[in-house]
Structure formats: C-alpha cells, structure tokens
C-alpha cells in the first residue's frame, strides 16, 4: 500500500529531515508514528500525500507517485493536518462544497461522528471553538472513506473527554483495506488504539513493529524496586514506585504502556532495538 | 494533463461559496470608489472620453490584479495550503477556474458596475457642460480598437498577476506590483533601445506626409514619432502630436499574436507552478 525506499528530504534552509528512510505499510492497520518534536513526522506524512517531494529516493502510495497529486490519488488519501483552515460557512454548506470531491463520502456516517463528538449539525464553522472545528474535520476525514487516512497530531486541541471520543471513534472505524497512520508526540493518546508502532528518530524509522510483537518481547510493570526486575531495560519513577520496561523472558502478556515504550526506545536504543532486529 | 468538467464545476462552486461575502463587499467597495472618482471628474468638468477610459482601465487592470491576488491566497497561507493542495483537482482545473474568475468574470462584473456609475456621473457632467453651453461628452465605447487592445493587455496583466501570486508566498501583492514595475521598466528600456537601433537619430531628409490611419486598431503595430525642431543640436520646439508609421501587416500580425500568446504562455506557467508547488 505504501512503499518508501531510501527517501531523503531536506528543507530549503538546508536542514536535513529525512535520510535514506525506507518503509513499507500494508492495509488493515492503525499505525502510530511516534517521534520527538521536529524529527520529521509531519514531513513524512507530507511526503506520503504529495505535499512535499523527495530530494532522493522514491515513494509509492496505492501505486501512485504522491508528488504528482493526481485527483484519483487525492480522492483516496486524506490528510488531517495539525493546522487547518475552516471557511466561514455552515457545516451543511461545507459538506455541500467539499463532499463532491470525494466520491466515497458517507454523509450518514459523518453526522453520526458529529453526534459522537457532540458538535451541532447547524454550527457555523468560524463561530465554534478550534477543538470543535477539529472534530468536524476528523468526522469529515473518517467519512471520506479514504483508503489511506493520515492524521497529524489529531488530538492536539482536543480536551480530555474529546480525546476519549476520538479513540472510541477511531477504534471502531477502520475499514477493510484501509490504513490509518497517526503521527503524534502525545503518545499516551494512542494507547489501546494502534496496532503498529513506528518510531522516527535520527532522520529515519528506527523501529517498526506490531504491538503484539512488542508485548511478546517486552513486559510492562509497576514495581516498588526496579533492580529486582529481571531483564530490566528502562524504569521511571511513578506515583507508587516505578514503571518499568523489561525483557519478556517468561512469555507473560502485559498491557503495553505506549509512553514507557517510547521513552525506553529513545533512552536505551542499544539495548531495546536489537530485540526487534529481524 | 487531466481535466474534468465536473471537478472544474465543483471547484468553481467552492470558490464562490467560500468567497461570496468577500466578493460582495469588494463589489460594493469598487462601486463606491468608481462613483467617487467619476463624480469628482464630472464636477471638475473633465469627464471626457480620455478620463472615462483612464478610470475604466485603471479599475480593470489594478482592481483585477487585486482580485486575482485572492484567487490563490490560500496556497500562500500556512494553515490553509495543506487542504488546498490536497483537494482532488488537477492544476489545469485550478488554473482554468482562476482564469474564468479573474480574466473573464471580473471584467464583466467590473464593466457592469462601471457603466451605471458612469451614467450617474455623466448626468452631472452633462448638466454642468450645458450650463457652459458645451455639448455633452460621449460614453466610453468598449468596442473601439484601442479598447480591444487594452482588454487584451488586461488578460496578459491578470495572467502575470496569477503567476506572481504563485511565485511569492509573503507580501505577494507588494512583490507583484514591484515585479510589474520592473517588467515595465525593462520593456521601456528594451523598446527604446530597439527603436533607436531601427531608426537612428538622423535628420529627416525626405518629405513628410500626413494621412489618417487607424493605427490603434492594428494592435500597436505602429511606431510613434514626435516632430522636433533643432537648431545647433538644441531642441527649440516640438509638436505635441505623433506621426504613426505603419510597420506593415507581418509586424502587425506579430504584435497581435503576442497579445494572444502572452496570456496563454503565462497560464502555462501557472499550471507548472501549481504542479510543482510544495507545502
């Protein structure tokens, strides 16, 4: 579905963002693209939808070269940007203007999502809060039924109940043959939502694993004394004792703590990454 | 190059729905400015054809430039350009919508606003001239040859404006005006140099004859000369009239083609710039 090979990208000011990045993604997953601020998560998303062109290497999405931005390609790929524009129209008028561009758009589903987010149908887009505007855009993005849905920091600007609504919506709306790629640095927001993790660091994808394989290799615990944990990789002080990430030596299944995992990978690269080398 | 009438229609509708308030306010503002200037000239007793032409073409070209600056404004806006660039339409459809709005519809709407304002000012002008026992001024005739040339020139200017608004991300309007001035200066310098090359500054030896020729109708395929009298290399007098030298049909055709080819070339540049536009 997405094949990126040896892609490099440098902004005009000369700052290299992506170097020799290769990646392959298949349909049927909700992938979390994690990384620190400024590591190039948004840049990678822009490459995948054709907003930026590779300086070196290639990118193929659904058999198209994204940089050509052919209408048939853009009908199947939708990017929910972090910063967005909303015209001074009503939700109804917005739908009337934009839905014709997306042949698979599902109006009923859109209104359903809007109800879940508790946004009034007759809202004037410029008169509602930024968070509510974002909810309209998230609902629109999901209702396009695009085969590839790219989301750049979708939970930024959402309050805590809305983040829960967002997770609920996303979890129940992955279509067969669809791929959802969510970029965020607020990794906690993606807990229990994603089934594949990509970590972007040092200008490339340093880890690309399914959540199942991560929990197969690692165990996540809350302990009072970290030194007693066998195969300890990373620990962090918590309210009651320590949250730890350790090697899963006895095949137990623990719930993955996305934030702990992300921190463990970044802090203990030499110890954690070799566990996933195939 | 991809083109679909359906998508073109959707894009045109989107442009209208999102900007109709702006367009309505703009039309009101243009009407106010036009009325102000035309009435001012009418009260000053100077609403002749040249002044009407000046008001019309200044409004058409500069107002058109301002209008064109709004057509691609979202592409230069960091929060809006992502959605705009990812809208499933082709660069050709995008360019044609801009051309339809900026080069076709804007002149029509502007003309529709101009003539009622002119009619109102003309009443004032006629009354004031009648009081001075002067005949009423004629109305500006848009079918005249020189007018056609300027309308064609407007196509080129607006196409150039579209290119500028795609080229410049920040302060696009100011930069577009500066680019136009620079281009005009270059044109004047090249034009003068070429004419000097073609017609060296030598005393006229032959007999000069004057005859009427509708030179403005042949798309400026003529060169203007001023009669200057010199004594000991010092200019002693000049006549405030021009003699037009017809450069012949092939040259006239060339000039005419230039007026048609230039906007088309510039529209081609617009499509290419849209295609290679990145966030």
pLDDT of residue A186: 82
Helix (H) / strand (E) containing B125: helix B106-131
Q: Which residue has the tokens 């009337």?
A: A96
pLDDT of residue A44: 96
pLDDT of residue A50: 95
Q: Which residues contact B4 (CB under 8 A, 6 or more apart)?
A: A71, B90, B93
* A100 chain-B contacts, CB cut-off 8 A: 6, 10
Give pLDDT tens digits along chain B (279 positions).
789 999 999 999 999 999 999 999 999 999 999 999 999 999 887 888 888 988 998 899 888 888 888 888 888 787 788 999 999 999 999 999 999 999 889 999 999 999 999 999 999 999 988 888 888 888 888 776 666 677 778 888 888 888 888 888 777 778 888 888 888 888 888 877 877 777 666 666 655 555 554 444 444 555 566 667 777 777 777 766 655 666 677 777 777 787 788 888 888 988 998 888 888
* A50 chain-B contacts, CB cut-off 8 A: 85-86
Q: Which residues contact B234 (CB under 8 A, 6 or more apart)?
A: none
Q: Name the DSSP letter for residue A191.
A: T
Q: Which residue has the tokens 């967002």?
A: A166
Count Cα atoms within 13 angstroms, Cβ side, for A131: 13
The answer to whether B34 touches B62, Cβ cutoff 8 Å, is no
Q: Using only the alpha carbons of chain A, give its radius of gyration.
A: 20
SS3 state at A200: strand
| Interface probe with A: pick from B10, B20, B85, B86, most Cβ of A within 10 Å | B86
pLDDT of residue B216: 44
Interface of B with A in 211-230 (CB under 8 A): none
pLDDT of residue B21: 92
Give pLDDT tens digits along chain A (278 positions).
999 999 999 987 778 899 999 999 999 999 999 999 889 999 999 999 999 999 999 999 999 999 999 999 999 999 999 999 999 999 999 999 999 999 999 999 999 999 999 999 999 999 999 999 999 999 999 999 999 999 999 998 898 899 989 988 888 888 999 999 999 888 888 878 899 999 999 899 999 999 999 999 999 988 888 888 888 899 988 878 899 999 988 888 888 999 999 999 999 999 999 998 75
Least Cα separation, residue A169 to chain B (angstroms): 22
pLDDT of residue B71: 86
SS3 state at A227: helix
pLDDT of residue A2: 95
* A98 chain-B contacts, CB cut-off 8 A: 14
Model ipTM value: 0.92
Tell me the per-residue pLDDT of B31-80, one tens digit each, with 9 for 90 and over: 999 999 999 999 887 888 888 988 998 899 888 888 888 888 888 787 78
| Number of CB atoms found within 10 A of residue B206's CB | 5
CA angle A84, A90, A95 (to 5 degrees): 75
Which residue in chain B is spatially nearest to A93 when comparing CA positions? B17
pLDDT of residue B217: 44
The encoded tokens of residue B217 equal 């109708």
pLDDT of residue A189: 81
For A101, the closest of B10, B275, B278 (CB atoms) is B10
Taking one residue from A and the other from B, the number of pairs with CB-CB distance under 8 angstroms is 73
The encoded tokens of residue B107 equal 């002149």
For A85, the closest of B21, B80, B89 (CB atoms) is B80
B87–chain A Cβ distance below 8 A for any pair: yes
Q: Which residues contact A5 (CB under 8 A, 6 or more apart)?
A: A22, A57, A58, A59
Q: Residue A236, Cα to own-chain centre: how many angstroms? A: 25
Interface of B with A in 15-44 (CB under 8 A): 17-18, 21
Which residue in chain A is spatially nearest to B78 when comparing CA positions? A83
* B10 chain-A contacts, CB cut-off 8 A: 97, 100-101
The closest alpha carbon to B268, from B39, B89, B91, belongs to B91
Measure the CA–CA gap between B184 and B116, rounded to whole angstroms: 32
Contact A51 B79 (CB under 8 A): no
Measure the CA–CA gap between B96 and B271, rounded to whole angstroms: 9
Contact A85 B83 (CB under 8 A): yes
Q: Which domains does chain A have, with CATH numbers?
A: 2-201 (3.40.50.300), 212-276 (no CATH)
């Amino acid at each position: 579905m997405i094949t990126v090979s040896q892609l490099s990208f440098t902004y005009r000011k000369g700052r290299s963002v992506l170097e020799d990045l290769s990646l392959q993604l298949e349909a049927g997953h909700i992938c979390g693209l994690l990384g620190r601020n400024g590591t190039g998560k948004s840049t990678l998303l822009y490459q995948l939808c054709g907003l930026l062109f590779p300086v070196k290497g290639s990118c193929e999405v659904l058999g198209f070269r994204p940089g050509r931005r052919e209408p048939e390609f853009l009908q199947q790929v939708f990017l929910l940007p972090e910063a967005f524009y909303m015209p001074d129209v009503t939700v109804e008028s917005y739908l009337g203007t934009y839905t014709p561009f997306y042949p698979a758009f599902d109006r009923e589903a859109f209104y359903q999502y809007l109800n879940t987010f508790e946004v009034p149908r007759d809202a004037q887009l410029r008169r509602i809060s930024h968070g509510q505007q974002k909810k309209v855009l998230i609902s629109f993005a999901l209702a396009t039924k695009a085969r590839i849905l790219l989301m750049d920091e979708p939970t930024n600007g959402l309050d805590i109940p809305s983040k829960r609504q967002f997770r609920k919506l996303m979890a129940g709306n992955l279509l067969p043959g669809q791929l959802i790629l969510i970029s965020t640095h607020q990794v906690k927001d993606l807990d229990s939502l994603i089934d594949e993790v990509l970590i972007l660091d040092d200008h490339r994808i340093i880890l690309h694993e399914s959540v199942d394989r991560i929990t197969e290799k690692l165990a996540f615990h809350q302990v009072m004394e970290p030194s007693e944990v066998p195969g300890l990789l990373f620990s962090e002080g918590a309210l009651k004792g320590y949250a730890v990430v350790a090697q899963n030596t006895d095949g137990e299944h623990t719930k993955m703590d996305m934030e702990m995992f992300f921190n463990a990978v970044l802090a203990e690269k030499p110890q954690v990454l070799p566990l996933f080398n195939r | 190059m991809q083109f679909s009438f359906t998508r073109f229609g959707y894009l045109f509708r989107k442009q209208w729905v999102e900007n109709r308030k702006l367009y309505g306010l703009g039309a009101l503002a243009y009407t106010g400015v036009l009325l102000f200037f035309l009435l001012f000239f009418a009260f000053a007793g100077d609403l002749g054809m040249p002044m009407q032409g000046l008001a019309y073409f200044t409004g058409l070209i500069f107002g058109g430039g301002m209008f064109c600056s709004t057509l691609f404004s979202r592409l230069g806006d960091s929060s809006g350009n992502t959605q705009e660039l990812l809208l499933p339409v082709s660069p050709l459809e995008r360019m044609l919508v801009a051309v339809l709005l900026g080069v076709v519809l804007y002149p029509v709407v502007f003309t529709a606003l101009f003539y009622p304002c002119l009619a109102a000012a003309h009443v004032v002008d006629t009354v004031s001239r009648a009081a001075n026992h002067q005949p009423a001024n004629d109305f500006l005739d848009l079918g005249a040859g020189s007018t056609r040339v300027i309308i064609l020139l407007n196509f080129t200017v607006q196409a150039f404006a579209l290119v500028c608004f795609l080229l410049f991300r920040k302060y696009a309007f100011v930069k577009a005006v500066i680019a136009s001035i620079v281009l005009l200066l270059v044109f004047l310098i090249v034009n003068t140099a070429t004419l000097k090359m073609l017609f060296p500054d030598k005393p006229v030896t032959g007999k000069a004859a004057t005859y009427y020729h509708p030179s403005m109708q042949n798309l400026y395929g003529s060169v203007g000369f001023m009669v200057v009298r010199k004594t000991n290399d010092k200019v002693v007098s000049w006549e405030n009239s021009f003699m037009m030298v017809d450069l012949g049909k092939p040259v006239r055709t060339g000039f005419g083609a230039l007026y048609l080819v230039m906007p088309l070339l510039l529209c081609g540049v617009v499509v290419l710039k849209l295609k290679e536009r990145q966030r």
